[in-house]
A and B are shown apart, each in its own frame.
Chain A
Amino acid sequence: MTGAEFVPLSLTPLLIGTFAAIACALPGNFLLLRRQALIGDAISHVVLPGIVVAFLVTGVVSAWPMMLGAAAASMLAVGLIEAIRRLGKIETGAAMGVTFTAMFAAGVLLLEQTDTSSVHLDVEHALYGNLESLIWLNATGWHSLLDISALNDLPPELGRIWLTLIAVVVFTRVFWRPLKISTFDPGFAEAIGVPTRLTGLALVVVAAIAAVAAFDAVGSIIVIAMFICPPAAARMMTNRLEKQILWSVVFASTSAIVGYVLAGYGPLWVGSEHAVSAAGMIATISGLILALAAMFGPCRSAQSG
């Protein structure tokens, strides 16, 4: 395949998919260790009503209001889960289930009630995104990477997910110590003055930001898969948090790249002319990686820790 074909059609979706996968996998590591893995599931469901409400308020499909709406919705959901858990003394899983299904249902209903036929906003799109459509029209080959006017035409999702990824990396780096200590030993963390509750909240907020940005680009199914599968697979490979995070980044990028390539070109190899959903394929690959890690990973069993 030549650069003239690869750069405009595949480079940007690949990059966006990879960045989104890594941005979700990084906070996913901590969520997994804190037994909060399903928070990603909840957030990715409640993003829908946020986006729909933002659309109803502004009347246009534009990224920033929608991301704000989605972020507001996920904060609302986190607050609601906490409120139900405290007020009703109900376990987190059930509180989460109540919150995200109700908010998702409200989102679907709003969407059905409003006329969105003229704009590109529907439930299917929200669920599995449209990674394949994020192409770089003005690129003509590798040399376009140095061409300012072509670079101005990059899909805006790329910039947003890149910024998000940097923010997530910076957060993980700067708050590494409180994150690590409060994850493994909340009691000790509290004793040496680490604000554990604040750290936990910050982690959820960062996860929500990553989820919303990734959702904008790739749909919710990848978000859930990337929050859980790469960190879970990495957990089977090592007992050290640093290595686990590196493994999870490797697994996340591998799933994104292999998944995208298989979805785009796999069907051609077996003689079909239609590509399949890239988001679904990326999630599938991450599951295969997890299955392999669960069967052969050196630290897979509970006793080896």
Chain B
Amino acid sequence: MWLDALTLQLGYNATLVTLGATCLGVAAGVTGTFLFLRKRALVSDAISHATLPGVCIAFMIMVALGGDGRNLIGLLAGSAISAWVGLLCIGWLTKTTRLAEDAAIGAVLSVFFGFGIVLLTIIQNMSAGRQAGLEGFLLGSTAGMLWSDAVIIAVGGTLTLLVVMTLRRVMALVAFDPGYASARGVNTDRIDLAIMGLAMAITVVGLKVVGLILIVAMLIIPPVAARFWSDRTERVVVISGLIGGVSAYLGAAISASAPNLPTGPIIVLMSFALFLFSMLFAPTRGVLAAVLRHLRFQRRVHMRQGLLALAQGQPIYESYTLRLLRRSGLVQADGVVTDLGKSRASKALRDEKRWEIIRSDQALEGAAALYDGLRALETVLTADQIAEIDRKIGGPQGVTP
């Protein structure tokens, strides 16, 4: 069953939904990156909650006009309009009043959602509303989806992805350096609007699959996960799109393979798993890399202090230092310094003296700025310069550099 689902063998509808969700996931990952870089990730939370009244009003209007009420295009159009109104409200609250954006987001989110719930209870009491299944929009449901709905999701997902792809360069420019972008003649306000519009489109298309409470996760989690892997915007965009696509694909497929596995939560948990993996194991920015870096640093500090102590004949009490020295064969088990240890220690002491000269010499100011007690001298100065310094120090000449 799992394999069938992953290889798209579960029938037309499931296949279409899975492919549509994948496109949507990629589009969401890419758009989400720009939201994240603009530090507006949670605006999408307000957008998604603000869709509920629109869905309900669209349903009521369609029923009042004698229609089915469950027409997905109508419902999605309604959700887009009310999400847009929600965005305008956030803009109005932050521009004209003293409220910060987070408060405006929270206010719009809760009030629109609350109003949507009121409308939902009205619909539930309407004679046409009993089987409306609008609750499915809260958490998403792909079970029993109509063929036409699946087509709409697949087409919507693809279209959004296409728009994202055409706009991605200019969006990256604005997200990364708005000042430079407007100097280049880019209308940053309009691009910001486009980013919001795309976030809205993703929310609306994903409403039926993921549900309005969790759709925001598709816009937030992939970019945050991708951020661990790279510092370059283009790469973050690509990785985020990949993470979004993979988690949406796996989520939709797994959810189609068994009952009681709602699509939205599975997609979200998939991307959260990828996020956890990124946070722990990403190179340089990941937690594991940071721990390793710290341990390596610790080892170098202990090594240096140990060598300096050996050179000056001071006793060493720190057990970690002793262990390090023993392990690298500089000290014997009984505490006697080996020949290798003696030469390494005198080199460390001599380097320390050389650094002292460097720091007192204004001509070598640039090199002196690099002094941190750990840097190997040979990586900073040429052999000639070191020989020059050694002449100033004098003393035994035979020390191997």
Contact = CB atoms under 8 A, between A and B. Distances in A.
Contacts, number: 209
A75 B339 CA distance: 57
Contacts of A41: 45, 106, 109-110
Given A41-B109, A98-B220, A102-B221, A108 B262 contact: yes
A94 B106 contact: no
Given A102-B269, A294-B93, A280 B36 contact: no
A109 B266 contact: yes
B114 A282 contact: yes
A236 interface: yes
B280 to A, nearest CB: 9
A276 B121 contact: yes
Contacts of A123: 138-139
A290 interface: yes
B118 A35 contact: no
Contacts of A112: 260-262, 265
B217 A105 contact: yes
Interface string B258-294: 0011101110110010010001000001010010000
Contacts of B45: 41, 97
Interface string A40-52: 1100010000000
A133 interface: no
Contacts of B256: none
A88 B228 contact: yes
A284 B41 CA distance: 24
B99 to A, nearest CB: 6
B111 interface: yes
A37 B102 contact: yes
A279 B290 CA distance: 46
Nearest to B117: A280
A128 B42 contact: no
Nearest to A236: B97
B61 interface: no
A281 B116 CA distance: 9
Contacts of B216: 97, 101
B117 to A, nearest CB: 3
A97 B221 contact: yes
Contact size class for A?
A: 35 or more
B227 A274 contact: no
Interface residues of B, number: 59
A229 interface: yes
Nearest to B100: A35
A118 interface: no
B224 interface: yes
A227 B122 contact: no
A104 B213 contact: yes
A120 to B, nearest CB: 16
A17 interface: no
Contacts of B111: 225, 229, 283-284, 286-287, 290
Q: Is the interface of A mostly helix, strand, loop or mixed?
A: helix
A224 B109 contact: yes
A221 B117 contact: yes
Interface in A214-271: 221-222, 224-225, 227-229, 232, 235-236, 263, 267
A149 interface: no
Contacts of A305: 98
A301 B267 CA distance: 42
Given A225-B114, A284-B114, A98 B221 contact: yes
Given A102-B269, A105-B214, A127-B138, A287 B107 contact: yes
Given A37-B103, A97-B221, A98-B224, 5 more contacts: A35-B102, A108-B139, A124-B138, A235-B98, A236-B98
28 contacts: A40-B106, A41-B106, A93-B39, A94-B41, A94-B220, A101-B216, A102-B269, A108-B139, A108-B265, A109-B265, A112-B261, A112-B265, A127-B213, A224-B106, A225-B107, A225-B110, A235-B98, A236-B98, A263-B118, A274-B121, A279-B114, A279-B117, A280-B120, A283-B114, A284-B111, A287-B115, A294-B93, A301-B98
Q: Which 6 A-B pairs have the closest CB atoms?
A: A283-B114, A287-B111, A280-B117, A101-B217, A105-B268, A97-B220
Interface of B: 36, 39-42, 45, 92-93, 96-100, 102-103, 105-107, 109-118, 120-122, 125, 135, 138-139, 213-214, 216-217, 220-221, 223-224, 227-228, 260-262, 264-266, 268-269, 272, 275, 279, 285, 287, 290
